[in-house]
Structure 1
Amino acid sequence: MKWIARVLLAGLTVLLLAGGVVSVHLLRGLPQLDGEVQLKGLSASVQITRDASDVTHISASTAPDAWRALGFVHAQERGWQMEFNRRVMRGELSEILGAATLDTDKLMRTLGIIGMAQQQLKGLSPAAQAALQAYSEGVQTAWQSGLVRPSPEFTLLSAQAGGLTGQAWTPEDSVGWALMMALDLGGNWGQEFARLSASQVLSSEQLWQLLPAYPGEKPATSVDLPALYASLGVYSPPAAKASGLPTNTSPLAQWSADTVRDMGVLDGKGSNNWVVPGSHTVSGKPLLANDPHLALSSPAIWYFAHLKAPAGELPGGQKHPALDVIGATLPGLPFVVLGRTSGVAWGFTNTGPDVQDLYLEQLDTAQPGQYRTPEGWRAFTQRSETIRVKGQADVAIKVRSTRHGPVISDVQPQYKGLIDTNRYAVSLRWSALTPDNKTIEAGMQANWAQSVPQLQQAFADHHAPMQSVVMADTSGEVAYRAVGKVPTRAPQNDIRGVAPSPGWLAQYDWTGWLPYAQNPAVDAAQIEKKGWHATANQNILPPGYPHFVGGDWTTPERFQRIEHLLATTPKHSRESMQAIQNDVMSLGAKALQSRLGKVQSLHPLAPVALKLVAEFDGQMRTDSAAALLINVWADELTRGLLVPHLGAERFQGLYGKRHFRAAVEGILDRSDAFWCGPGACPAQTSAALDRALDRISASMGSDAKKWRWGAWHPAISSHKPFGKVPYLNALFDVRVESAGDLFTVNVGQYWANEKKTPFANRHAASMRAVYDLGQPDQSVFIYQTGQSGHVLDPRSRNMANRWAEGGYLDLQQTPQTVLHRMSLLP
């Protein structure tokens, strides 16, 4: 037996030694935070410090040196994130991840993100081009010099991908990444598809019950869409079966298929912001709050930095004032996206206009390769794309485009089996895919602004995605304006872009752009009169506004709650702003509370459950049993009401990032016999409660005192791609219990069609910030992971618990404490 012990001991020693070598190798990738290093291309030394909040401060002698240094820092801290994002937008994921990500690559190649970025780059000013060039050189030099070492992702994938590195970032990649942010936030094309799909099985009345108009409004179109599509013969013959499921069912393939399917879905892509003028604050100067809601990721989408440089002259002869701006940057871009200068602060929410239209392109069955236009038949524009795939032969695809834009029905699997592809294709017109898009220019100019008027002027060049911007400066001025380009449509366009339109009819073409001066806006006098201005993705159009902007607004629960909390405090402080951001009262849950309280059930746990509901205060706390019960009941009820009419597969394809809560509430209010079926609505609500109680008790036991919302609702900041890889996700994801739900100000959106964690918080406050214009260095921020993108670095997740608990960190241009100092030398 001794020899067995010796073998085991020897094996354990080898494993420990190997593990130690691997650990040392991986730890070498940690970013260097102190000392002196040389960075090619600088005109003078640059000082980089990190303060007690871990905000990175870059102090340079020239603005180009500051941008170059930011590129260096982003490469240091977020090298893998940038490499992954670069591959996403270029359609090159499959080169390192294999066939599982082909769906995503095909869609990105079809949209032509990088090709359009190349065109848009040429239209930028010499100053903006110089900024992008300096930034990209900072990224490339950091890698090429060996100053930045690969993080674990590169190590784990490199052996399979042939020396994977992150040194390829270019100016066009920066423009492309701005387009990707517009793609994430900018559209309703998924909602148009939902209406097309549901119209196959519903009447027009039922369609608008499933996808109702904004409260108090009529549907944006009076066209009978199901009748229109039936008359055109849009749908596949009954024998064909729709399928949005990937042929490769690995978690990574499912992620890729879901990404492609959900592109253009606006539900839940929201944010909160508000501004309070000095007349309604304790300090007598404005306060501004912002918490943009985005899909939670690890590392986080944001990186907080401070850029400082004296006044000077840029290439092209443009003179600029001193640069002194702090806030949230996006790795890949050389400027602060959300934050403040020494004089003015701003915050974004998604406006949600209709800037994406789908078109049914009628095909010439007699002569393939042509589609119908108002002037007759025309050949598709075609180009060939070759996608390299790890482990198999290259995949060649033909990308077709029409006069409206790329044909997405060729690469979005949900169209297969839905539309008759022998007769129709579906193309996309999207406001961001135009060569004159100068969103990058607007972002750069905002970093120089020192007042609300200067900021509004800077955002005149903002193109996509359209954002609702609140602004405040140190002189006390405040304002709100929607910034971005909105297409105009002809009066005879009766569909108004809310569903796919016949592409061969000129009446459905865009006719131009709404002038910036006519975008929705609120001036200082109006804000002073009310005492604040808030947006939360609700309908932001003022009464009598003459232009059609869109109809797919987020339901107003968050906005109503913010308005109530702002109104109940006569004089606001930084603390009251923070309290509003962390509020977890769910008006959506309260709307269901009375309905659930009336349910009749013989389930053994029903008496206890109904008592919990009766005592529920609407607060979606982590320790709330009632919060858990209401959300699970709502999910079961939604399935019970909708699946029989949509079919399981169609429902699964449309559910998740859409919650259908407004539809469910309407069905119950009407006691709708069609949706509730033969047993009527009471039978549906009772059966849903029974299923919910079975589901909860199977997981958490029958003692309701142990039921906790937080246990089912962890905020999961998922890594790309290892968040989809068993075992590795335990290391790379950042996970913490969270409060809130779909309708709370402190939002916690779950994707209920996920199989393993349907109630996990996937889409929430990607950061929170409160700017104090009376004492700017009393401003605060937080986000859900940490600055570092290296999984073995404690700084990669050191903000998570503070974020979940509603805490903040100081956001100071002149920090009191410096923890790390680095000098970049020419």
Structure 2
Amino acid sequence: MARIFKWLMWLATGAVVLVVAAVVLVWYFASRSLPDYDGTYTVSGITAPVEIVRDNADVPHIFGQSDEDVFFALGYAHAQDRLWQMTMLRRTVQGRLSELFGQRTVKIDNLMRRLDLYGLAVTSVKAQDAPTTAALTAYAAGVNAWLGEINTGSRGRGAPEMWIFNAPIAPWQPADSIAILKLLALQLSGQANDEVLRARTSLVVPAERLVDILPDDPTDGIAALPDYSALVGDVPKYAANTRWPDDPLSPLMGHNLAGASNAWAAGISRSATGSTLLASDPHLQLTAPTVWYLARLQLAAGDVIGGTIPGLPLVLSGRSADLGWGITTAYVDDQDVHIEQINPDNPNQYRTPDGWADFRARDSIVTIKDAPAITLKLKWTDNGPVLPGDVFDLGTVTPPGHVTSLSWTALTGDDPSLSAAMAMMKSRTIEEAIAAAEPYVAPAQNLTLADRTDVAMKTIGAIPRRDPNHQSKGRLPSYGYLPENRWQGVMPYADNPEFVAPEGGIVGNTNNKTVDRPFPNHVSYNWGDTQRVQRWRRLMQSREVHTRDSFIEAQLDTVSFTARSLLPLVGADLWFTGDAAEDGTPERRRQIALTLLANWNGEMNEHLPEPLIYAAWMRSLQDRLIRDELGPLATEFTHIDPVFIERVFRDVDGASVWCDVIQSAPVETCTDIARQSLDDALTWIGETWGTNLETLRWGDAHQAANDHPTLGKVPILQWFVNIRQSTSGGDNTLMRGQTSGTGANPFLNVHAAGYRGVYDFADPDSSVFVTATGQSGHFLSRYYDNLGELWRRGEYIPMSLDPDLARAAALGTMRLEPQSGSKSP
């Protein structure tokens, strides 16, 4: 027995040693790719020495003697910290994810090949001006210089992920950067998705009720739309969902997740500082690391600092010494879905206004890991690429004998958007910036500007010119062979909404409607916000003058105008009307919940129970209102629409009919549905978060899900690569934390302000910024999540162009020498 015990001890000890050795070995190989931020390196591609000074937050301050050398160093720094992220963005837009991930990403690659964004980026290289071409070339050389250092300096393949998904890394090309901007446009565009959802919904509800569940902005008149089945015909009244893969690698955002942001500025008359102020917080999908990367560039036109995206040699939101700029998604209706009729006698032809024409077609081979390659037949019409039926659920609204194509402003091979953005970044005044942005195409943005004397906002990006007789006004898929449904070029840049030196001294956007114009000069029917703008207007007008701190307070504001407006409406007949009830009964829990909500001010604070009760109630309420009418289609409505709920409970145009369950004999009232949905919500809360309502925390459900797109669901590894934090805010607060709307926890915060910046031109170096995670994409780096906790708490780091401040607390200084200089250590 003693001998057996001894051998078991030896085996157990040996197993522990092996496990420890394996962990140490994995850590060793993974840590080899951690960059050293100190030292001197000899590189090819620069003309003079360049310094990369990383301050104590790991923000690189790049100093060089020419713009090209500075952009080279930015590419070098991006590759050092975010190589895996950059290569994944490039693979996504190229449609080459399946080479690494197999069948999981075939649908994504299929879509990207058909859109051909990368091919359009390649041909758009020639559309760039000389300074931008030089910047793209220098940036690519900087990325490739770091790739060379990886190959020669034993840098652990450049990133830990490379050990798991081993694949060669092709040299970076100028077209790669243009392609990433086009990929960003795809992530921010949701008009096609909205068109199809509107068409599908119109097939199952009467036309007079469509304006309830998919309402226009309430400040607009209701546009009369034709019935979709009458417009297109031969479409089944209901078709099953063809779900797009719920994959963090997908560039397609779901309904309500296409894009959102805030930006506002105050002129001198509304500023207590004697100069202008600007706040900007663009919202994108939360990831680890965040897509944003902070950097400062020393350029000939003046230094700039702010948020960059790895892969782009550009500060997308930031400031110089004289100009600040912020961006918000403009919600321009820049996409149209067309129903293309196929020639019944020749499947290679489609119908045009002039008769049958051949599809432009070519083959494309998709290589799939651990599976045979597939060959796609890519087809284009005059209106745009032909898309598969599972994208946007297009197959559910396409009649037999037809296919769908997509018109989209970003689908151009002559796209100077990057040059326009580069020229705007180098501008010194509002007038220069607006003029510089004229050639910009996509993604359409509202550009909020502040120089030292004034503020402005301009919508930049191409706006399609539509025929006034367009069948659906661009709101529903329409026949592509009818001339009136085809685009007629783009609107003049001068017609894009513009607000310069506003009389009230303040300008801003929360993705709300910016202009009220009739079709076809309308810009859009679908806007991204009807709620946050109400709170923003109140905060801006509640004081005569603003400061940097008041702008920060507004940026971090978590009071929900939606909760304040809906709760008194929905609960009007429930408060103080119930009979006494015993502890533990559903009636007693309902009374406790109503008491909590009655004393709540609408603040979506992470430490409070009321936001969770309110959010679960409204979610259950909308589901009860629409489930019997829409059936399985109700699952597409993942987030509440406050305008819909308000229409129902105010009985606007008879909208209270939604409260009656059509399958039941009794006539249910809205009070009945409100009470039942509250009980549903409390039951779900009890099963998921506990039955003691007073101890609930909104932040437990509303965690910011900065998850790693490729490793975030891998057991054990997910604990190292995902960054989860309790957060305040919600779908409709200025500090927006958009919830997922699906899954076991529909209140997970998945789409928020990955970058925040507030700029004060009275004292520019007192400006501040922050990102949602950290600068490094390496999960073993201490800079992987070093900014995340500051971001969660609503704190910032200094945004200074003072080189002495950067050097004073630098964590490292890297010196790049040209090839003829000193040798690398």
Tell me the TM-score range normalised by the shorter chain. over 0.9
Which of residues 181, 184, 190 is equivalent to 1:181? Answer: 184
Which of residues 246, 250, 264 is equivalent to 1:274? Answer: 264
User: Is 1:635 matched with 2:633?
Assistant: no
For 1:505 and 1:517, the matched residues in 2 are separated by: 29
For 1:432 and 1:637, the matched residues in 2 are separated by: 38
Secondary structure of 1:771 counterpart: strand
Which of residues 583, 586, 596 is equivalent to 2:571? Answer: 596
Secondary structure of 2:40 counterpart: strand
Superposed CA RMSD in Å reads 2.0
Q: Which residue of 1 aligns with 2:472?
A: 495
**C-alpha spacing 1:394/1:438, structure 2 compared with 1 (3 Å):** same
User: Is 1:470 matched with 2:448?
Assistant: yes
Q: Which residue of 2 aligns with 1:663?
A: 644
**C-alpha spacing 1:340/1:32, structure 2 compared with 1 (3 Å):** same
User: Is 1:585 matched with 2:556?
Assistant: no
For 2:537 and 2:80, the matched residues in 1 are separated by: 42
Q: Which residue of 2 aligns with 1:227?
A: 230
Which of residues 407, 412, 417 is equivalent to 1:434? Answer: 412
For 1:549 and 1:629, the matched residues in 2 are separated by: 37
Q: Which residue of 1 aligns with 2:330?
A: 351
Q: Which residue of 2 aligns with 1:732?
A: 721
Deviates more, 1:660-669 or 1:634-643: 660-669
- AA paired with 1:576? S
1:477: Cα distance to partner? 2.5
Secondary structure of 1:207 counterpart: helix
Secondary structure of 1:486 counterpart: coil
C-alpha contact (below 8 Å) 1:79/1:166 kept by paired residues: no
Q: Which residue of 1 aligns with 2:346?
A: 367
For 1:413 and 1:769, the matched residues in 2 are separated by: 34
C-alpha contact (below 8 Å) 1:439/1:461 kept by paired residues: yes
**C-alpha spacing 1:563/1:245, structure 2 compared with 1 (3 Å):** closer
Residues 805-816 of structure 1 mapped to structure 2, 5 A cutoff: 805-815=793-803, 816=805
User: Is 1:644 matched with 2:619?
Assistant: no
Q: Which residue of 2 aligns with 1:117?
A: 121
Secondary structure of 1:370 counterpart: strand
For 2:703 and 2:121, the matched residues in 1 are separated by: 37
1:184: Cα distance to partner? 1.4
- AA paired with 1:507? E
User: Is 1:395 matched with 2:374?
Assistant: yes
1:488: Cα distance to partner? 1.1
For 2:241 and 2:403, the matched residues in 1 are separated by: 17
Q: Which residue of 2 aligns with 1:244?
A: 242
Which of residues 488, 491, 496 is equivalent to 1:514? Answer: 491
For 2:109 and 2:248, the matched residues in 1 are separated by: 9
- AA paired with 2:708? H
Deviates more, 1:6-15 or 1:693-702: 693-702
1:490: Cα distance to partner? 1.4
1:777: Cα distance to partner? 0.8
Q: Percent of aligned pairs with the same residue?
A: 32
- AA paired with 1:824? L
User: Is 1:537 matched with 2:511?
Assistant: yes
Secondary structure of 1:369 counterpart: strand
C-alpha contact (below 8 Å) 1:740/1:747 kept by paired residues: yes
Q: Deviations along 1:618-653, whole A, 9 cap, x unmatched?
A: 1000011111001011111122122222222x222x
User: Is 1:288 matched with 2:278?
Assistant: yes
1:221: Cα distance to partner? 4.3
C-alpha contact (below 8 Å) 2:548/2:758 kept by paired residues: yes
Which of residues 353, 369, 379 is equivalent to 2:358? Answer: 379
Residues 779-790 of structure 1 mapped to structure 2, 5 A cutoff: 779-790=767-778
Q: Which residue of 2 aligns with 1:127?
A: 131
Q: Which residue of 2 aligns with 1:10?
A: 14
Q: Deviations along 1:721-755, whole A, 9 cap, x unmatched?
A: 122334432221111110011110000110212x1
C-alpha contact (below 8 Å) 2:84/2:162 kept by paired residues: no
- AA paired with 2:240? A
For 1:500 and 1:153, the matched residues in 2 are separated by: 45
1:306: Cα distance to partner? 0.9
For 1:135 and 1:349, the matched residues in 2 are separated by: 26
For 1:114 and 1:268, the matched residues in 2 are separated by: 21
Residues 551-566 of structure 1 mapped to structure 2, 5 A cutoff: 551-566=525-540
**C-alpha spacing 1:149/1:655, structure 2 compared with 1 (3 Å):** farther
5+ long unaligned stretches in structure 2:
579-585, 662-666, 819-825
1:418: Cα distance to partner? 4.8
Q: Which residue of 1 aligns with 2:61?
A: 57
**C-alpha spacing 1:267/1:227, structure 2 compared with 1 (3 Å):** farther
Which of residues 703, 708, 718 is equivalent to 2:692? Answer: 703
Q: Deviations along 1:745-767, whole A, 9 cap, x unmatched?
A: 000110212x1321011111111
Q: Which residue of 2 aligns with 1:454?
A: 432
Q: Deviations along 1:347-380, whole A, 9 cap, x unmatched?
A: 1111111000011112222332222111112222
For 1:266 and 1:245, the matched residues in 2 are separated by: 16
For 1:725 and 1:821, the matched residues in 2 are separated by: 36
Deviates more, 1:710-719 or 1:194-203: 194-203
Q: Deviations along 1:289-320, whole A, 9 cap, x unmatched?
A: 111111111111111111114x4xxxxxxxxx
**C-alpha spacing 1:212/1:434, structure 2 compared with 1 (3 Å):** same
Q: Which residue of 1 aligns with 2:664?
A: none
TM-score, normalised to structure 1's length?
0.92
Deviates more, 1:555-564 or 1:778-787: 555-564
1:687: Cα distance to partner? 1.6
**C-alpha spacing 1:153/1:513, structure 2 compared with 1 (3 Å):** same
C-alpha contact (below 8 Å) 1:597/1:610 kept by paired residues: no
Q: Which residue of 1 aligns with 2:288?
A: 298
Q: Deviations along 1:209-231, whole A, 9 cap, x unmatched?
A: 110111121344432334323xx
C-alpha contact (below 8 Å) 2:196/2:392 kept by paired residues: no
TM-score, normalised to structure 2's length?
0.92
Secondary structure of 2:220 counterpart: coil
For 1:497 and 1:380, the matched residues in 2 are separated by: 23
Q: Deviations along 1:760-792, whole A, 9 cap, x unmatched?
A: 111111111001111111110011101011011
Q: Which residue of 2 aligns with 1:318?
A: none
For 1:701 and 1:35, the matched residues in 2 are separated by: 55
C-alpha contact (below 8 Å) 1:275/1:288 kept by paired residues: yes
1:801: Cα distance to partner? 1.3
1:597: Cα distance to partner? 5.2
1:458: Cα distance to partner? 1.5
Secondary structure of 2:770 counterpart: strand
5+ long unaligned stretches in structure 1:
247-252, 312-321
Q: Deviations along 1:122-151, whole A, 9 cap, x unmatched?
A: 221232222111111111121123255435
Residues 66-105 of structure 1 mapped to structure 2, 5 A cutoff: 66-105=70-109
Q: Deviations along 1:141-199, whole A, 9 cap, x unmatched?
A: 211232554355434423xxxx4244432111111011111111134000001012112
**C-alpha spacing 1:556/1:791, structure 2 compared with 1 (3 Å):** same
1:27: Cα distance to partner? 1.2
For 1:380 and 1:697, the matched residues in 2 are separated by: 57
1:690: Cα distance to partner? 1.0
Q: Which residue of 2 aligns with 1:333?
A: 312
User: Is 1:423 matched with 2:413?
Assistant: no
1:696: Cα distance to partner? 0.9
Q: Which residue of 1 aligns with 2:542?
A: 568
Secondary structure of 1:605 counterpart: helix
Q: Which residue of 2 aligns with 1:609?
A: 593
